[in-house]
Chain A
């Protein structure tokens, strides 16, 4: 019989208590146990970056972690980025205004990666943005819209912080 543990994980401010198999991937926990399906899975071997989430504020590949490792931690996923139901976060708005997504499959990982990056680097160069997202694959956009969105968002967030 598979080994099971009870865990408690906070995702976007809500607490999820579940008994899970110890081998359950964190990505599957988030998507299928908590039904927060905005986090995507593209490779399950840590390369595509679509499954990236913030774990205690730091980016992590949820396909390379077990759910039990997240026990007691706080996660942020794409569903938790916008301030409310009707409004977008400045980074999300910048993605919309700069055509930073096409199919939207890489988007959850791009947003979480850039959220961390722009927090730590509020005024980046284009090259720094490209390196920041170099571990996130996008087959649709050629990255141009994403890079433009990140630079635009940096400006918006700086203006917000200054205001």
Chain B
């Protein structure tokens, strides 16, 4: 029944369509007269374009046209992607053009678009477009890029430093000057590409009669796409409708807006033909945003008991050639370091480097896994140096549960002071340790050692700001036939929004979730929206649905009280019927109320309500809701091959109240697997000339089923006081502590060799080499 929908393990309503192949993804759309697009992309990391010869390509079979910058309307030739998230720390906010014909700054940058009758013909012609490049010096490694005399990412700029900022609070210098102990770490943390199994995809259908275009895009954020396309093309906003149909995974890179999303509708409009563009996997590696390298030089000051006095350091972040998402990722990294610990003083200088690579924008975790890696490595160093158990040193430094809400002097990316709203960090770690049988590990290690096996255990904690504003909205509508539909703006790329939002709508309306349809990700269905990223939909859209459904309930009761001539407070709703409590036969239905409020010509509406049994609410959270958790990972390492086997993976996760634990568990499992991949397999490589060297699934390895263990999850539920449902985001928490916990476990397993691990990923070859070095040193 409806009343128990919140918190129930409801099966997903989106599954039957997906399981039978009936669901519609962007590439499943076939329109009459549709042209197919293929892109000519830069093969050089940095070059001046001396000439583009498209004559041969244009005369090839099936080719409709080849579009370069020179073919664009004059006003659009040099227009650049709107700067989506400005920040005063950014001094050189380079943004990409629709098509480049002067200076290309990364391999994969779009130079020309071929339109042909079939994709095969478009690709043939794309290969025949000749580009005359004059090769320019490159910036590849982000540390080298900031050195004096480095090759410039953009010719004519002063240097490759595009942003610098210092964050902190308290007297770090004083704390370090007087500290009993200081522990240092120089770390490389790398994260790879998002790599949804579905690549990006765009279809545009023009309607010249009405002067409008419908754009289907495999995006997480149809409203952001629409906003950017109309801004960039200078279109009236009602010319464009953006629909995110089924989307085959997002993981961050599909949040951000890309030039193809403007070029395809522009050309569809110009040539009055529907156009489809489907990114291929290689393009996805070179032309879809990624996360990449951060280099951290960090130090932790503490007393003899391991109590933290201060943390300070410097970080260099590789942002690529353009910065569509500004400095969101490194900013989040910088604010994530203190985490769940009492850190009395903190200071971090971040420098952001331009490099000749595709842009860095958030990938699941969004800069946090790297920061947690830094903080947790420091704590492990301190624990080992002081001879304190790694769990114990964390216990001594946790922010106690009764200190909530807790502020400590940082400003988060939402511009608000960081105030942890709720959470019980000591309990979360305790639950994870219990789940992992941490106390039994010493015995397990003994048994393993006796058999000549190397096992280790690692712990990592994190706090994550989720549910960021500005808002999301929802319309709840009871149709005149009694059917109920929820509309909201953010797309769904596997999160199960239909199911969770239906659960939230079902409760106030006293119906079953299966009675409700949910339509997401269509700018034609609701006036305003943002998108599905930053673990924000449960908080923003969830609360909007809750508020809208509650107001529909109130309206239904008000109207029913007129229809039934009963007092509002005597009425209740169940199974779609509104009835007088205790006299269930005196009743009406949501359907009849919906009909009554359509209005009858000449009569006033019952109860003086507004027309339509529907309500639209936009929920704006006052600040982020802080999710937290602990990962405890046990591994076995083969010191000869560097192979790491995860024996046990325990995760305690607190994302506030759970709407549907069945779905949240899946989010946590998937997020942990993403973190496992980032730690043990995934490396997005570039050579010294910034040429990408891992552009297929053989060179860039994703985790597969045998390498991902069963993830044991325990939920701690600390509701946030900052939204009516008490929910926090749950989509990224699993990824965030994975890097730190797994690396700690591997280092622990290799402790007999004295190998210190400062880098992530730890690929097998590198690990085996470190062990070999250590063995050689030991003689």
Residue B446, interface by CB 8 Å? no
Report how far A96 CA is from B705 CA in the complex, Å.
19
Given known contacts A43-B696, A45-B281, A137-B702, is B197 in contact with A111 (CB within 8 Å)?
A: no
Contacts of A130 in B (CB 8 A): 705-706
Residues 645-697 of B contacting A (Cβ, < 8 Å): 662-663, 665-666, 669-674, 696-697
Q: Interface residues of A, CB < 8 Å — how many? A: 61
Residue B12, interface by CB 8 Å? yes
Q: Verify A37–B24 contact, CB threshold 8 A.
A: yes
Q: Verify B669–A144 contact, CB threshold 8 A.
A: yes
Contacts of A108 in B (CB 8 A): 21
Residue B198, interface by CB 8 Å? yes
Kindly specify which of B145-153, B244-252, B293-301, B463-471 makes contact with the partner chain: B244-252
**In the complex, per-residue mask of A88-103: 1 if CB is within 8 Å of any chain B CB, else 0:** 1000100111010111
Q: Verify A134–B704 contact, CB threshold 8 A.
A: yes
Q: Interface residues of B, CB < 8 Å — how many? A: 57
Which residue of the partner chain, among B19, B21, B25, B280, contacts A96 with CB atoms under 8 Å? B19
Residue B710, interface by CB 8 Å? yes
Q: Verify B28–A37 contact, CB threshold 8 A.
A: yes
Report how far A40 CA is from B196 CA in the complex, Å.
13
Kindly specify which of A54-62, A78-86, A155-163 makes contact with the partner chain: A78-86
Contacts of A38 in B (CB 8 A): 20-23
Report how far A136 CA is from B280 CA in the complex, Å.
18
Residue B231, interface by CB 8 Å? no
**In the complex, per-residue mask of A103-140: 1 if CB is within 8 Å of any chain B CB, else 0:** 11111100100000000000000010111011111111
Residue B18, interface by CB 8 Å? yes
Q: Verify B18–A99 contact, CB threshold 8 A.
A: no
**Highest count of chain A CB atoms <10 Å: which of B16, B247, B696, B705:** B705
Report how far A41 CA is from B14 CA in the complex, Å.
20
Contacts of A78 in B (CB 8 A): 19-21
Given known contacts A42-B197, A135-B704, is B15 in contact with A77 (CB within 8 Å)?
A: no
Minimum CB–CB distance from B437 to chain A (whole Å) comes to 20
Report how far A142 CA is from B672 CA in the complex, Å.
7
Given known contacts A134-B706, A146-B705, is B496 in contact with A47 (CB within 8 Å)?
A: no
**In the complex, per-residue mask of A26-66: 1 if CB is within 8 Å of any chain B CB, else 0:** 00100110011111111111011010000000000000000
Report how far A145 CA is from B713 CA in the complex, Å.
13
Q: Verify B246–A104 contact, CB threshold 8 A.
A: yes
Minimum CB–CB distance from B87 to chain A (whole Å) comes to 30
Minimum CB–CB distance from B282 to chain A (whole Å) comes to 9
Report how far A126 CA is from B664 CA in the complex, Å.
23
Residue B96, interface by CB 8 Å? no
Given known contacts A37-B21, A108-B21, A142-B708, is B702 in contact with A99 (CB within 8 Å)?
A: no
Q: Verify A145–B669 contact, CB threshold 8 A.
A: yes
Report how far A96 CA is from B704 CA in the complex, Å.
21
Residue A141, interface by CB 8 Å? yes
**Highest count of chain A CB atoms <10 Å: which of B19, B670, B696:** B19
Residue B509, interface by CB 8 Å? no
Q: Verify B196–A103 contact, CB threshold 8 A.
A: yes
Given known contacts A96-B11, A143-B673, is B27 in contact with A42 (CB within 8 Å)?
A: no
Report how far A37 CA is from B190 CA in the complex, Å.
36
Which residue of the partner chain, among A41, A104, A145, contacts B23 with CB atoms under 8 Å? A104
Given A44-B281, A104-B23, A138-B705, 14 extra CB contacts under 8 A: A32-B30, A37-B21, A43-B696, A47-B698, A96-B12, A102-B495, A103-B249, A103-B493, A131-B706, A135-B704, A136-B704, A136-B705, A139-B249, A142-B670
Residues of chain A touching chain B, judged by Cβ–Cβ distance below 8 Å, are: 1-2, 21, 23-24, 28, 31-32, 35-45, 47-48, 50, 77-79, 81-82, 88, 92, 95-97, 99, 101-108, 111, 127, 129-131, 133-147
Ordered by A's residue number, 27 sampled pairs between the chains whose C-beta atoms are within 8 Å are A31-B27, A32-B30, A38-B21, A40-B25, A43-B281, A45-B281, A45-B697, A48-B281, A50-B197, A79-B22, A95-B15, A96-B16, A97-B11, A103-B198, A103-B248, A130-B706, A135-B704, A137-B702, A138-B705, A139-B249, A139-B251, A140-B249, A140-B670, A141-B666, A142-B673, A145-B666, A145-B669
Cβ-closest 4 pairs across A and B: A38-B21, A105-B248, A104-B18, A102-B494
